[in-house]
Amino acid sequence: MMRNNLRFFQSGDYVYSLKPWTDYLEAHGGFLGIKSLESNYNMPYLYILAFITYLPASTLAKIKLVSIIFDFITAILVMIIVKKLIKPSKNSLVPCLAYALTLFIPTLVLNGTVWGQCDIIYTCFILLSVYLLLEKKYIWTFIAYGIALAFKLQAIFVLPVYIFIYLKEKKFSILNFLWIPIVDFILYIPAWILGKPLAEIFDPYLMQIGQYKSLVLNFSNLYSLLPDNYDFFATAGLFLSVSVLMMFYS
């Protein structure tokens, strides 16, 4: 009900990016329009936008429905992971509570239902990767993580965790990490076949790396207490992060 009441809101990202991209794809033959579409989003999400152009309903409703579907899948994955980790009693409500809390946390509702953003998609595949890791299905762990990274570069922040787990436990082969670029490459093949130049296929990664040079952007964190010197503190932050990981490793 809450998601239904919020479905009509149009964010700036929707008005100036998502809707124009989808309209362009629809006007240029759906998937065929990918080769000439100028966008700073990675190819897998553009496949989704191209796919929904063939479906009825408004563009706004279709874009938000995709995110909402992944909201529910993500909540289910959280429930399964919690159940796997804590091994609750048969009548325990903890896994169900984890499901409900995930589904209704403000960030999840705002990102997909209100703004129509797609961050929940790569988050969903990260959680799927975590679940597969717990199940010791290591090849599929990195395949799922590769899909997450193909959707958005922000998934890279999880990579140090997998590196740390490998160095600490060595329960799987280091060659499993190769599945990450392999999956990325496979997911980009359709765009290349459709005529998208390879340079343009990988452009979103470069844009995401260099677009925002800020320590803090619309949300407070540790760097809010420091001067806004990106070049200095970004490097220092990387060394600090590595040092913290090494403390746990030792």
- Range from 27-36, 107-116, 197-206 carrying the lowest mean pLDDT: 197-206
Per residue in 138-148, pLDDT (tens digit) is 999 999 999 99
Dihedral over Cα of 62, 123, 187, 40: its sign: positive
* Per-residue confidence (pLDDT) for residue 238, from 0 to 100: 74
For residue 175, pLDDT beyond 80: yes
For residue 80, pLDDT beyond 80: yes
Q: State the Rg of the chain over Cα.
A: 20
Q: For the whole prediction, is pTM greater than 0.85?
A: yes
Higher-pLDDT residue of 238 and 56 is 56
Give whole-number Cα distances, 242 to 131, 160, 212, 246, in Å: 25, 9, 22, 6
Q: Which amino acid is at 47?
A: Y
For residue 219, pLDDT beyond 90: no
* Per-residue confidence (pLDDT) for residue 144, from 0 to 100: 98
The C-alpha atoms of residue 77 and residue 136 are separated, in whole angstroms, by 16
Give the burial class of 24: count Cβ atoms within 10 A of its Cβ; 0-12 exposed, 13-18 middle, 19 or more buried: middle
Considering the chain, what percentage of its residues have pLDDT values greater than 90?
A: 66
Per-residue confidence at 176, pLDDT binned at 50, 70, 90?
very high
Domain boundaries defined on the chain: 2-198, 212-250
- Range from 77-91, 177-191, 219-233 carrying the lowest mean pLDDT: 219-233
For residue 212, pLDDT beyond 70: no
| Mean pLDDT on 198-205 | 87
